[in-house]
Structure 1
Amino acid sequence: MNNSLKHNDFAFLKGGGNMGELIRNHDWSKTSIGTPDQWPANLKTMVATVVAARFPMFLWWGPDLIQFYNDAFQPSLGGDDKRFSSLGRNGREAWKDIWTTIGPMIEGILDGNEATWNEDVLIPIFRNGHYEDVHWTFSYSPVPNPVDGSVDGVLCTCTETTQTVARLKKAEELEKINFTREEYFRNLTDSVPAVLWITEPDGSCTYLNRQWYDITGQTHEAALGFGWISATHPEDQEEVGKRFEIANREHTSFTATYRLLQKDGAYRWTIDKGSPRFDAQGNYLGMIGTVVDVHEQFVIEDAAKDAIRASELKFRLLIEEAPVATCFYTGMDMNIEVANQMMLDLWGKDNSIIGKALYEAIPELEGQPFLEILQNVLTSGETYYAKNTPATIEKNGVLDTYYFDFTYK
């Protein structure tokens, strides 16, 4: 880290385990995002959220996709952490061996696309000295700029599901077992560390392994048939039931995200996923599926979104409550994103100009040098100061010349 900075002065850099320590001691002056005292508020918030989380998270920031990740992500790297030994590395370089797979999704988020959700995707990675077939469930979410809504970074919440996929494949193979060997079947599935369920052609559930009962506290009598739906949150039950009824009727895959009752009375977010079963003649036998807990991922994403919204609101309030005429422009047309009442009064305008380009909002400025000056400040990054500068503005239907001291930066 730059010796002129004291990382202890930055509260958002405290804690975070091993990854937090690496961030605190990294020389950020050599990266395109600069030192932590130059970081925008939303980057500080996201870094603090990522390193404090106990769910695997990854953050790419800025045009160079400067990368951060947390301790929870490290186990997925195996014993070979060379890819991330240089914190703050360009993400495209760090992940070049799989960029053809993940790159289009990340670039799409940067271009303004909506968040992605990908389940059990096979993305081989190099770890433990060789390439391994690794399955992932992950979401790429945009981190919006609190001022103009553009995308500043990409947040990845993820979990390795290699073992889960292996268990699912094992579960699918179970349907080939002769169900007359019921005791063997039950002993086998009860050893699977995930909820496993089986239904009949009419949709009624005839089997839930031990994990379901351990989690929910339901009895066999209460859960079988369609009683399992009553263990979902009351607000989710109608949608879950509808989704399952359609999938069972059409003999298609079933997927639902819902809150599942726990023994202690609390609810946790889960993903329930099932596939249709058919015999050798193609006759529909019902469905087989699993229920996976994803509660931490949902909580972390909600917390990150709340932090971003709070940061954006704080910025707008700072402008609106500034003691001098203040506004914020975006784009080469200088769209007026935020302007306080003092600035509106100075222009002789009202709130209807918010969101409009400068010349559209204040047409009498066309032919005057202000737009060109603003554009130069935007492209050069240099602050512009002016004193006693004339400007012709229309107020109350009267065009007149006024003199102003102002700063563009």
Structure 2
Amino acid sequence: MSFKDLKLIKPLLKAIESSGYSEPTLVQQKAIPPILDHKDVIVSAQTGTGKTAAFALPILQQLFDKQDAPKRGKKIRALIISPTRELAVQIQQNFKTYAQFSNLRSLVVFGGTSIEPQIDALNKGIDILVATPGRLLDLHKQDYINLDYIETLVLDEADLMLAMGFIDDIKKIERLCPENKQTLLFSATIPYKIEQLAHTILKDPERIDVTPTKSVAKDVSQVLYYVPKRNKIELCLHLLRNTIKGNVLIFRRTKFGVNKLEQTLTNNGYKVDSIHGDKAQSERQTALNKFKNGYVKILIATDVAARGIDINELDNVFNFDMPNQAETYVHRIGRTGRAGNIGRAYAMCSADEKSYVKTIEQYINVQIPIETEHPYPLDPKAKPIVHKKKGSKYKKGRKSVASKKKKKRWY
């Protein structure tokens, strides 16, 4: 199937061709026709499957007739809600690319940066708005954004928005839009709460599933190292020196863990940068650019900060901490092995993470190969270290034993 078969108009076909794409991906083949028919859709698809174009192309086509409104006369007619700044920026870049042969204007707004330039751009008039929930509601409250003319609302990475606690914001935004809009919901997984949300805000939606969720990218070779928790940093350094070739994206569970590992690797002479939720948007973008341009070979990230980051030539993914969600593992390792390249996924597992590995293997239906030849093997009988809280050496009650002895009772 070609993009022409999807009944896309010439300006869009020209933009697709100049971007170097020749055939639509599976999610694009399945999602574009119903979206063009103005149907509500729920799409279950992983990151890296081309889903941004699956909604961007039909939205641009539907708005094409309204493109020649004078700049200040433009109304926001398409709204895309994204959970993270990085993903929002990436979506808007896609819109710009596909709209290059039209007069349709798009804008991205997100928190963590100055609000004034975003207000200026809004005042000039735009057709398509990509936004994170907090900044959108902030601008709407201040009367800089009018959602009365929204024709299409897109909720991207809905499962992540749920995990980040945005669900009430999403419901509020949906209520601010016209009732007769088209709603498109994209999510890597469809947990029960997303199912509930879809039931309340979508009208008779068409369901599109292009995720064999239990499979992982075929072009990714996986390997697992069992290691005591205290030796993870040593094994990480050992692998970076002897095994891992090329650039590497390292995942840690917490911001504290990210900072600690960054410090250690820097002290060992590695060029490294990091992204996590506490960093300002400009710092995150700089770190990402340095990694993409090869200035640093190692980028350390938490899952939330790394969601939606697109790095075409990523050689390795390193799970320093095993994720406690099988879907997260699939997301992480799906960042490498893209566009026909072979990727490698390394994982370290300590005694307290063994149950996570079991869950992941059941989910992906694959036994992850174990590498035993390394300097810090984990004793197979090792039990997780449980830190027991020590109780107070003083007995409960307000009086000490000595004071009780001294007191003469009247009874």
TM-score by length of 2: 0.25
For CA contacts below 8 A with separation 6 or more, give which structure has more relative contact order.
Answer: 2
TM-score by length of 1: 0.25
Bigger radius of gyration among the two: 1
